[in-house]
Structure 1
Amino acid sequence: MKNYQAAPEEEEDDELYEHHRIVADKKQALLRVDKFLMDRLPNVTRNKLQKAIEDGFVKVNDAKIKSNYRVHPGDVITIALPEPPRDTEVVPENIPLNIIYEDDDLLVVNKEAGMVVHPAYQNWSGTLVNALTYHFQQLPTLPGNQGRPGLVHRIDKDTSGLLVVAKSELAMQSLAKQFFDHSIERTYLALVWGEPDPKDGTIDVPLGRSQKDRRVVQAYPEGEGGYGRHAVTHYKTLQQLRYVSLLQCNLETGRTHQIRAHLTYLGHPLFNDSTYGGDKVLKGTTFSKYKQFVENCFKIIPRQALHAKSLGFVHPRSGEWVQFETELPQDFKDVLEKWDHYVQHH
């Protein structure tokens, strides 16, 4: 994988600190740089971005640009600001980790739902990275990923399951390349509203930040307006429970909220996913007893029903394929049992 190191700054920028470094995809459509960055940076308004561009804080291939500059494939966009990034100051915290495998090069963690993976806006402590920096010294960091030692990928706060962490430079570079090449096997289990038709399929639709709500990722079929990035999810129905279904999802790409956004686009949001509307009764009868049953299910699993069940990759040192599996967490098991019981007795 290419290593994009920070380029020397011009004299007038001596006091600037790099906050973001983004490399445009090889298939990137020509798109205004402000729109391009809006798609990739949550919690940033277009006005703020345009002001940062005007002030020379945004550069493309080390050159200052204007807001109407169109991003080309392979462009390296950097955002440097006068103050250091807040998320590079990771405070080690003694938080227990559920480590299911560890050697000199890497470890595999079974993350519980509710834990944020790395410090960021509104979540500066209590994260997986705060725990990692307490338990492990000198974890490597990918270029442009300061403040996130050991990380080569992440899973959402309220998604449970497996995450691989690099302990050596060898592992960091090898795993990063495998993620970049989409050769890592990632299997998720998802409880969704409704019964997909067809039962098994592939969702190949670009994803990008919503222009209306920055917290939400939405599908952009046919790459509408140049928005969205290539995203592919394969799904298979494992169990149909009348009003909900248990799916196996395999990620080919790894976009933010990919499974959640793709299944919402398909018309089958994750059960109890409040961000994507899955925390309401979307399928079923109008009987108040049924509504009460669903409310009780929401209490059992007070998060989106998504679990990263397995992870497979080529071990960076041995060159052999390694595969890790984890059981469904108790809240997920319990809600499945409850639906199964309901379907059999109603």
Structure 2
Amino acid sequence: MTETQNTGGVAKIAVIADENDMRLDRWFKEHYPDVTFGMLQKLLRKGHIRLDGKRAKSNTRIATDQIVRVPPLNLETRIYAKKPEGELSQDDIYYMQNMVMHIDDDIIVLNKPSGLAVQGGSNTNRHIDGMLSALKYDLTEKPKLVHRLDKDTSGILIIARTRVAAQKLTKAFQTKTTEKYYWAVVKSVPKLREGKINMPLLKQGRKGHEKVIAAPTGENASEDAKSAITLFATVSSVPALASFMVLRPITGRTHQLRVHMAEMGNVIIGDGKYGGTDAHIGGEISRKLHLHARHIKIPHPSTGEIFEITAPIESHMKNTFHSLGFDEEAGDLVMERFENR
């Protein structure tokens, strides 16, 4: 970064070319990692942080040569800065590196386990974002998140190794040039074997305790509702008990697949948040969420060619497949049908 002025502890920093179109909160995370998201929001609300002399929001996109005004954070440690995090343990490093399915100069692909959060939040101290330094390998730059999975969803999580790769991957996710395929085991048997769900969604509740609902329509429609589209196909079923499904989200809303399945009357097994006690079928079937990010196709940030990868399912889903007689190869064949549409 280029510091153009530092007066009375206030820094004015010019945005460099590699940071063009980066969100302001991500820029802060790069340059001031000890400032938490909540602290950043407070600084922005009070106008202590400015962009070209004007107030800004955390999601503001910055541009080359713009000037970011940063208040004297080091002089106000008790208010704005958190204590430096300790170094990762060898167990954490091994844990993270053991998830890696693919690594090259630009990206790392993890097979994230169910139960591990991608980012921190209320009562969440251990998460992938806090352990990314374990994946530096031969680089000095810490890898960067470019998308998320729910804490209880397992499967493919792509990490960018450089800032330039992060920009390109983030754009690929935002512009829908990425194809994502999920496997789910749901309650009962869907009325339609395959189809499309076009159901806008709405977030409710305070931060850290949000719940997503199907957005009301007509007179009760909300301006905050977001478009949400999911393609689905049933691979196989055990009548009146459960079904193995392939889901392809066209949009990427929070809890989209979970809410769409619940609203369709086929809650994902293990999803107590949206299905309550009905989300569990008992017996030897695990109470864990049965939702797995199985396959992804995305333009590679270096070559632009389509990169694709498949993640093996976790043991609890393997056990369910075995108990209910579901065939993984059949699921992959259904995914191929989606791809050829």
Q: TM-score range by the shorter chain?
A: 0.5 to 0.7
The aligned counterpart of 1:259 is: 257
Pairing partner for 1:3 from 22, 29, 43: 22
**Which aligned pairs between 1:178-327 and structure 2 lie closer than 5 A?**
178-211=172-205, 214-222=209-217, 224-242=221-239, 243-277=241-275, 279-280=277-278, 294-298=281-285, 301-327=286-312
Distance in 2, Cα, partners of 1:233 & 1:225 = 21
Root mean square deviation, CA, Å = 3.6
The aligned counterpart of 1:128 is: 128
Compared with structure 1, are the counterparts of its residues 258 and 20 closer, same or farther at alpha carbon in structure 2 (3 Å cutoff)? farther
Could you tell me whether the CA contact under 8 Å between 2:198 and 2:229 is conserved in 1?
A: yes
Equivalent pairs counted in the alignment come to 269
State the 1:138 CA deviation: 4.3
Report the 3-state secondary structure (helix = DSSP H, G, I; strand = E; otherwise coil) of the residue aligned with 1:263.
helix
| Structure 1: runs of 5+ lacking an equivalent | 7-16, 22-48, 66-73, 141-148, 283-293, 342-346
Could you tell me whether the CA contact under 8 Å between 1:159 and 1:304 is conserved in 2?
A: yes
Compared with structure 1, are the counterparts of its residues 254 and 91 closer, same or farther at alpha carbon in structure 2 (3 Å cutoff)? farther
Distance in 2, Cα, partners of 1:228 & 1:277 = 21
Report the 3-state secondary structure (helix = DSSP H, G, I; strand = E; otherwise coil) of the residue aligned with 2:144.
coil
Could you tell me whether the CA contact under 8 Å between 1:60 and 1:75 is conserved in 2?
A: no
Distance in 2, Cα, partners of 1:153 & 1:138 = 22
Distance in 2, Cα, partners of 1:197 & 1:59 = 53
Could you tell me whether the CA contact under 8 Å between 1:93 and 1:134 is conserved in 2?
A: no
Residue deviations 1:221-251 (CA, integer Å, cap 9, x gap): 4482223222211111111211211110112
State the 1:176 CA deviation: 0.4
Distance in 2, Cα, partners of 1:90 & 1:323 = 35
Report the 3-state secondary structure (helix = DSSP H, G, I; strand = E; otherwise coil) of the residue aligned with 2:180.
strand
State the 1:191 CA deviation: 0.7
Distance in 1, Cα, partners of 2:56 & 2:164 = 34
Residue deviations 1:315-338 (CA, integer Å, cap 9, x gap): 111121111012222210211222
TM-score normalized by the length of structure 1: 0.67
TM-score normalized by the length of structure 2: 0.67
Compared with structure 1, are the counterparts of its residues 270 and 186 closer, same or farther at alpha carbon in structure 2 (3 Å cutoff)? same
Residue deviations 1:148-188 (CA, integer Å, cap 9, x gap): x5100111111111111000122101100001101111100
Distance in 2, Cα, partners of 1:85 & 1:195 = 52
State the 1:91 CA deviation: 5.6
Could you tell me whether the CA contact under 8 Å between 2:288 and 2:316 is conserved in 1?
A: no
Distance in 2, Cα, partners of 1:85 & 1:235 = 45
Distance in 1, Cα, partners of 2:212 & 2:156 = 22
Distance in 2, Cα, partners of 1:313 & 1:155 = 16
Report the 3-state secondary structure (helix = DSSP H, G, I; strand = E; otherwise coil) of the residue aligned with 2:297.
strand
Compared with structure 1, are the counterparts of its residues 271 and 132 closer, same or farther at alpha carbon in structure 2 (3 Å cutoff)? same
Q: Which piece of structure 1 moves more, 247-256 or 173-182?
A: 247-256
The aligned counterpart of 1:29 is: none
Matched to 1:132, the amino acid is: L
**Percent identity among equivalent residues?**
25
State the 1:295 CA deviation: 1.9
Distance in 1, Cα, partners of 2:50 & 2:289 = 38
Could you tell me whether the CA contact under 8 Å between 2:297 and 2:309 is conserved in 1?
A: yes
Could you tell me whether the CA contact under 8 Å between 1:114 and 1:159 is conserved in 2?
A: yes
Distance in 1, Cα, partners of 2:134 & 2:60 = 36
**Which aligned pairs between 1:54-93 and structure 2 lie closer than 5 A?**
56=46, 62=54, 83-84=79-80, 92-93=88-89
Matched to 2:123, the amino acid is: Q
| Structure 2: runs of 5+ lacking an equivalent | 1-19, 26-34, 62-70, 327-341
Compared with structure 1, are the counterparts of its residues 295 and 176 closer, same or farther at alpha carbon in structure 2 (3 Å cutoff)? same
The aligned counterpart of 1:109 is: 110
Report the 3-state secondary structure (helix = DSSP H, G, I; strand = E; otherwise coil) of the residue aligned with 1:217.
strand
Could you tell me whether the CA contact under 8 Å between 2:202 and 2:212 is conserved in 1?
A: yes
Matched to 2:235, the amino acid is: L
Distance in 1, Cα, partners of 2:236 & 2:214 = 26
Matched to 1:122, the amino acid is: N
**Which aligned pairs between 1:105-184 and structure 2 lie closer than 5 A?**
105-125=106-126, 127-136=127-136, 138-139=140-141, 150-184=144-178
